[in-house]
């Protein structure tokens, strides 16, 4: 017999209100298509694609079969001084999908590891080129770059940082975030105001001197902090400033990579080419942990010096390029971006669904509690009026009301996010928003407790 109470007690859950959760657990038993089934039998629409990571929905047959075949053939392959063919094949496929066929991919196991890897590559790149003073990294307020020490150092969410200040890496500064609801409230797509905020990078360059700055890291669209959409021209200005001062530009595309904006990467959507791109999540539908860094060829080549029998870059993970994760990724990309030009991939489907989500989500303007709405691609968010004196409670109330009505959302602070699987139908997207509408009304009548 399993002691369920003891089992609940044993797992210290991540990013979870553990005491509240264990008093009232919400447990998922099954995932199929765009839906989860809870242990109490309720079927709920997965309104955030897992955690931004399941564009194909859950347990897609082709991915399941690919992993089953792989585990029966090669369950693990060391990636230190050895390799297996599929990892090289996938790296080439990702680079080609990104329109960067000559670039390289360094595999990790998560977005957090991808970010820390990208920061290491950036600093080491300048060092091997003889510019060892370039060690400073510029992040951005409200940024989420995972939970590695590098990631929280360049990240800008106070709650993720405040307990760990003594451990964070030195030589980090932050750009201001780009969200000002007084100037861009209820934006559809990219706000027209705010490109000038990129010029703050010039101020930081003056303050620290370009010779001391290695890289700037930003999420093209900030997801975890509440779907903050970059102003028109903002990312282009960052690219221009970085080019002017010899600073690398890193796009953290852990959320936007592999189709969330209706293009393979956000870099494609915005027409900006960063020097490095971090990815994870949707690359293999989150079936087995996998992440990576797409690295410009000239950065990779700078390391390829010295005797050929020596390691060029002392970094890596036991599970880099894990065979099961790679197999899941190949099967996922077959659905997202088929190599057969006669087949239409799900990235195109995401682009088709984006205006459906936009129209639906903005129909919530004027509903109880709603203070702002914004969207980009197949992602959207609403802000809700807080309960006085009780930060983050209101969004949580809406989250619970929506779950009771059959919709799983993501809440953070006073923001609720919606980013449905690419396999969703237009009717399911519209129904998700109608369920959210009802949940807002429920929460508006629950009071302040």
Q: Which of 281, 316, 336 is the last residue of a domain?
A: 336
Q: Which SS3 state, helix, strand or coil, does residue 34 take?
A: coil
**Residue 296 and residue 39 in contact, taking contact as beta carbons nearer than 8 Å:** no
Note the residue count of the chain.
Answer: 449
Mean pLDDT of the chain: 96
Tokens 């293999």 sit on residue: 284
**Residue 235 and residue 272 in contact, taking contact as beta carbons nearer than 8 Å:** yes
Clarify whether residues 330 and 392 are in a common domain.
no
Clarify whether residues 104 and 237 are in a common domain.
yes
Clarify whether residues 356 and 332 are in a common domain.
no
**Residue 259 and residue 55 in contact, taking contact as beta carbons nearer than 8 Å:** yes
Q: Give the residue among 163, 167, 141 at the shortest CA–CA distance from 228.
A: 141
Q: Which of 295, 317, 336 is the last residue of a domain?
A: 336
Q: Is residue 69 part of a domain?
A: no
Q: Flag whether pLDDT at 1 surpasses 50.
A: no
Cα Rg, the chain, nearest whole Å? 22
Q: Is residue 432 part of a domain?
A: yes
Q: Is residue 48 part of a domain?
A: yes
- C-alpha span between 154 and 173 (Å, rounded): 7
Q: Is residue 449 part of a domain?
A: no
| Predicted local distance difference test score (pLDDT) of residue 332 | 98
How does pLDDT run across 335-378, given as a tens digit for each residue? 999 988 888 899 999 999 999 999 999 999 999 999 999 999 99
Clarify whether residues 275 and 135 are in a common domain.
yes
Clarify whether residues 45 and 85 are in a common domain.
no
Backbone angles phi, psi at 409, to 5 degrees: -115, 180
- C-alpha span between 123 and 134 (Å, rounded): 7
Question: The CATH number of the domain where 79 resides is what?
Answer: 3.40.640.10
pLDDT band with cut points at 50, 70 and 90 for residue 3: low
Q: Give the residue among 22, 11, 6, 108 at the shortest CA–CA distance from 326.
A: 108
Q: Is residue 176 part of a domain?
A: yes
Clarify whether residues 204 and 291 are in a common domain.
yes
Structure tokens at 356: 């459906």
Average pLDDT over residues 273-298: 98
Clarify whether residues 183 and 111 are in a common domain.
yes
Q: Quickly count: other Cβ atoms within 10 Å of residue 377's Cβ.
A: 24
Q: Is residue 66 part of a domain?
A: no
Clarify whether residues 181 and 151 are in a common domain.
yes
Backbone angles phi, psi at 416, to 5 degrees: -120, 130
Clarify whether residues 310 and 369 are in a common domain.
no
Question: The CATH number of the domain where 424 resides is what?
Answer: 3.90.1150.10
Clarify whether residues 115 and 250 are in a common domain.
yes
Beta bridge partners of 36: 31, 44
Q: Provide the domain count of the chain.
A: 2
How does pLDDT run across 375-392, given as a tens digit for each residue? 999 999 999 999 999 999
Clarify whether residues 372 and 259 are in a common domain.
no
Q: Domain range for residue 118?
A: 74-336
**Residue 368 and residue 440 in contact, taking contact as beta carbons nearer than 8 Å:** yes
Q: Which of 283, 302, 336 is the last residue of a domain?
A: 336
Tokens 């990467």 sit on residue: 265
Q: Is residue 68 part of a domain?
A: no
Clarify whether residues 255 and 276 are in a common domain.
yes
Q: Which SS3 state, helix, strand or coil, does residue 215 take?
A: strand
- C-alpha span between 263 and 347 (Å, rounded): 6
| pTM for the model | 0.97
Q: Flag whether pLDDT at 300 surpasses 70.
A: yes
- C-alpha span between 415 and 223 (Å, rounded): 11
At residue 56's C-alpha, the angle toward residues 52 and 58, to 5°, is 85
Q: Is residue 327 part of a domain?
A: yes
Q: Flag whether pLDDT at 98 surpasses 80.
A: yes
């Amino acid at each position: 017999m399993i002691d369920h109470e003891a089992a609940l007690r044993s797992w210290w859950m991540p990013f979870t209100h553990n005491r509240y959760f264990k008093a009232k657990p919400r447990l998922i038993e099954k995932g199929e298509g765009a839906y989860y089934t809870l242990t109490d039998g309720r079927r709920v629409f997965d309104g955030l694609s897992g955690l931004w990571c399941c564009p194909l929905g859950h347990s897609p047959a082709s991915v399941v079969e690919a992993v089953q075949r792989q585990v029966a053939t090669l369950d693990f392959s060391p990636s230190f001084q050895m390799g297996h063919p599929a990892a090289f094949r996938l790296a080439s496929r990702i680079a080609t999908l990104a329109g960067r066929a000559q670039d390289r991919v360094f595999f990790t196991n998560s977005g957090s590891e991808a970010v820390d890897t990208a920061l290491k590559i950036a600093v080491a790149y300048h060092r091997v080129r003889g510019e060892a003073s370039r060690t400073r990294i510029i992040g951005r307020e409200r940024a989420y770059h995972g939970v590695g020490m590098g990631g929280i150092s360049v990240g800008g969410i106070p709650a993720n940082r405040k307990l760990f200040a003594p451990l964070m890496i030195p030589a980090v500064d932050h750009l201001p975030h780009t969200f000002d609801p007084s100037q861009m409230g209820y934006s559809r797509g990219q706000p027209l105001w705010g490109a000038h905020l990129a010029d703050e990078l010039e101020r930081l360059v003056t303050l620290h001197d370009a010779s001391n700055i290695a890289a700037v890291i930003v999420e093209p669209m900030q997801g975890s902090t509440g779907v903050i959409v970059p102003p028109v021209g903002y990312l282009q200005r960052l690219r221009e400033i970085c080019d002017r001062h010899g600073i690398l530009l890193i796009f953290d595309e852990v959320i936007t990579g592999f189709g969330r904006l209706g293009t393979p990467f956000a870099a494609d959507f915005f027409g900006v080419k960063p020097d490095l791109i971090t990815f994870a999540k949707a690359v293999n539908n989150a079936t087995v942990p996998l992440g990576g860094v797409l690295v410009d060829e000239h950065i990779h080549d700078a390391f390829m010096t010295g005797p050929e029998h020596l390691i060029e870059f002392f970094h890596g993970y036991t599970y880099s390029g894990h065979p099961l994760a790679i197999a899941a990724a190949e099967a996922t990309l077959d659905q997202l971006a088929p190599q057969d030009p006669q087949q239409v991939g799900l990235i195109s489907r995401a682009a088709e669904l984006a205006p459906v989500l936009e129209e639906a989500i903005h129909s919530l303007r004027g509903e109880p509690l709603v203070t702002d709405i914004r969207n980009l691609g197949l992602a959207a968010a609403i802000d809700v009026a807080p309960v006085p004196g009780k930060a983050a409670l209101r969004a949580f109330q809406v989250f619970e009301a929506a779950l009771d009505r059959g919709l799983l959302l993501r809440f953070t602070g006073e923001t609720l996010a919606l980013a449905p699987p690419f396999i969703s139908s237009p009717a399911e997207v519209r129904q998700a928003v109608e369920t959210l509408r009802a949940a807002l009304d429920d929460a508006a009548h629950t009071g302040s407790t």
